[in-house]
Amino acid sequence: MSDNPYSPETSAGTPEVRQRRVRVSLVWLVPIAAALVGFSMIVQNWLSAGPQITVSFETAEGLEANKTQVKYKNVVIGQVTDIGLSEDHTRVIATIELDQNAEPFTREDTKFWVVRPRIGASGVSGVDTLLSGAFIGADAGRAEETRRKFVGLEAPPPVTFGAKGKQFTLNTDDLGSLGIGSPVYFRRLQVGQVISLGLADDGKGVQVQIFVNAPYDKFVTDDTRFWNASGIDVSVAADGLTVNAESVSAILAGGIAFRAPNYSPDAKLAEQDHEFTLFPDIRKAMAPSDGPPRYVQMRFDQPLRGLNSDAPVEFLGVPIGRVVSVKLDYDEQTQRFPVVVGALIYPNRLGAAHDKLSQALGGDSEEHAARLMQMFVERGLRAQARTGNLLTGQLYISLDFDPRAPEVAFDQHARPMTIPTIAGSFDKLQEQLQAIVDKLGKLPIDSLADNLNGSLDELRQTLKQVNGDVLPQLQRTLERSEQTLENANQALADGSPQRQQLGDTLGEVQRAVRSVRVLSDYLSRHPESLIRGRDGADAPASFKGQATSRELNSEPQP
C-alpha cells in the first residue's frame, strides 16, 4: 500500500474515515470561570437591585455621589449614585439607587430631605452628621400610587410616618411669631407642634396645621379653645399687674396652648383635621361665644387722630364691639370731610339684657335690631370718640345716652345702620380753651401795658419820696419816743418822788370811787333824800367814818 492518500488504489477502493481530536488547554479555564462568576454577580445584582429614583434639592450642600447614603430611622436603604443640575439650572437632581426592600419609598407621598445640623424652634437636630457627614432622610408615605421623581424638603418634616396622634387646623387672622416646629402646650406641658403654615383659600387669613401626640389628642374636644401663647402677656387690672408666659421656648420661638372651657360639659372628642379658631390670648379664647356680629357706621365731623382699627366700642362701659375701618368722606352740602367709622357690634355680649330685649321685640332679626336702635336713638343714644389713654392719645368709641343731645332723624331701613354722633369731651375742652384764647387775644394788651408802666413809674416816685423824706422823719420820731419812754422809766423808778405822788393820787381816786359807790347805795335805799335832804342821823356809817377821819386829819399839827 502506498503512503500517498491520493493514490489510484485508494480512490478506487473503500473510503477511509478519520477522526480529528481537539485539545483544550487548562489555561482557558480561569477566564471562563471568572466570566461565569461575573455574569452570576451581574444577574444577582440585577435581581437584587431596587428601584432608581431622582430627588431634586435647592442645593447639593453635603451631598456626594457614591458616598451619601439614604436612611430611614438610621437604617441605610439606598445610596446617591449621581448628582447633576436640572435643565433650567435652578435645582440639583440627585439620582438614588434604593435597595430591593425599599419599594415602599417610591410611593407618591414619600418625603426626602437632607439631614444637616440644624437649630430650630424644637431644638438642635442632626448633631451626629458633624462626624459622619450629611445624609438623605426618608419617610415612607401611605399612598398607593408610585412615582420616580420627587421634590426634596429643605427641612425635616415635624411628624414622621407612623407617629400616633391627630392633626388639626387652626384659623387665625395673624400668624404672629409662630413657625414650623413651634410647640403646642396643654396645661404648660408640650404635647405637639406646628407642622405647616399657609394662607387661607380666600387670602384673608392664615391656616396653621398642628399635630397633637397621642395620648394627649384625647383632650382635644369640639369645644376646645386654642390661643397664641407666644411672648409674655402683661395686663394691668384693678387687682394689680399680671404676667403670664408658657415657657422660655414659647417666649423666644412662639407657641400655641389649648384648653377646654369649664362650662362645656357636653363636648365631644374632636375628629382628625377638625378646624378651630386660634385666638390672640387666653382671655379672648376662654370668653363665651360672641355670636354673629352686626356692622354699623358712625359719621364724625371732627378729626379722629388716635382712633385705629381694633379700637374697642363700648356701650355704657361694656365692650360690645371693635372698630374695623376709619375712612374719610366728602359732604357736598357742607363742603367738609367727615370721618366714617365702621364697627362690628356683637349683641350677645350684652348677656341677659340682649335676651330680654329680643323677647320684648319678638326676635333677633335685622328689622328688630333696627327698630331697637331707633328706640335707643330717640332716647338720646349717641356715639362719642373718647380718650382711652392720655399718654398715647389712643381713642375708643363710646355709646351712651345723652338727654341733652339734639333730636336727629334715624332711618331704620338704611343699611348699614348709621348711629348719630356727638363731639367728644376732649374736643369740647379744646373748643372752650380756644374760645378763652380768642377772648384773651381781643384784650387791649398794649394799652394795659402802657397803663401798667405809668402806674409803676408813679409808684417808683412815691417810694423814692417815702425813702427820702418820710422814713428819716419816722426814724427821728421813733428815737424821741424811745427817749421819752426811757425818761418815764427813770421817773417811775423805786423810791422816786414822782412814783410816790402817783401812788397817792391813785389812793385818792380809789377813795373817791368808794364814796360814790356808798352814795349810790344810800340813794337806792332813801330816794326821798334827794327832795327832803337827809338828817344827820341818817348819814351812812361810811360817811360818818370818813368825816371822822377827815376831822382827825384836819386837826392842827403841833
Do β-strands 165-172 and 275-279 pair in parallel, antiparallel, or remain unpaired? parallel
- What the block records as the C-alpha cell of 225 is 379653645
- Please state, in angstroms and as integers, the Cα–Cα distance from residue 177 to each residue in 73, 186, 372, following that order: 31, 19, 43
- Check whether 321 has a pLDDT greater than 60: yes
Mean pLDDT computed over every residue of the chain: 79
- Encode pLDDT of 480-501 as tens digits: 888 888 877 777 676 677 777 8
**Are 102 and 140 within 8 A, CB to CB?**
no
Write the DSSP assignment of 113-178 as a string of letters.
Answer: EEE--EEETTEEE-TTHHHH--EEEEE----S-B-SEEE-BSS--SS-TT--EEEEEEEES--TT-
- pLDDT score of 89: 87
- pLDDT score of 246: 56
- pLDDT score of 128: 59
* Residue boundaries of the structural domains of the chain: 34-151, 165-286, 294-435, 497-547
- Encode pLDDT of 199-237 as tens digits: 888 888 899 999 999 899 999 998 899 998 876 655 544
Among 266-280, 377-391, 533-547, the minimum mean pLDDT is found in 533-547
Residue 169 confidence class, pLDDT cut points 50, 70, 90: very high
- What the block records as the C-alpha cell of 285 is 379664647
Residue 276 confidence class, pLDDT cut points 50, 70, 90: very high
- Check whether 553 has a pLDDT greater than 50: no
Residue 437 confidence class, pLDDT cut points 50, 70, 90: confident
Label residues 432-443 b or e (16+ Cβ within 10 Å = b): eeeeeeeeeeee
User: Does residue 368 or residue 124 have the better pLDDT?
Assistant: 368
- Encode pLDDT of 88-124 as tens digits: 889 999 999 988 888 888 888 888 988 887 665 555 5
- Check whether 159 has a pLDDT greater than 90: no
User: Does residue 308 or residue 441 have the better pLDDT?
Assistant: 308
Q: Kindly state the average pLDDT of the residues 408-413.
A: 83
DSSP one-letter code for 139 = E
Residue 239 confidence class, pLDDT cut points 50, 70, 90: very low
- Check whether 399 has a pLDDT greater than 60: yes
Distance CA 376, CA 361 (A): 13
Backbone angles phi, psi at 133, to 5 degrees: 95, 165
Q: How far is CA 325 from the centre of its chain?
A: 20
Distance CA 10, CA 18 (A): 14
**Are 256 and 281 within 8 A, CB to CB?**
no
- Check whether 411 has a pLDDT greater than 90: no
- pLDDT score of 95: 92
- Encode pLDDT of 18-63 as tens digits: 555 556 566 677 777 788 877 777 766 665 567 889 999 998 888 8
Classified as helix, coil or strand, 3 is coil
Q: How far is CA 248 from the centre of its chain?
A: 19
Of the candidates 158, 151, 115, the residue with the CA atom closest to the CA atom of residue 134: 115
- Check whether 326 has a pLDDT greater than 50: yes
Residues 6+ apart with CB under 8 A from 156: 113, 115, 118, 125, 137
- Check whether 131 has a pLDDT greater than 70: no
- Check whether 257 has a pLDDT greater than 50: yes
- Encode pLDDT of 186-199 as tens digits: 988 999 988 888 88
Q: Kindly state the average pLDDT of the residues 468-476.
A: 82
Of the candidates 158, 34, 170, 51, the residue with the CA atom closest to the CA atom of residue 100: 51
- Encode pLDDT of 54-71 as tens digits: 999 998 888 888 888 898
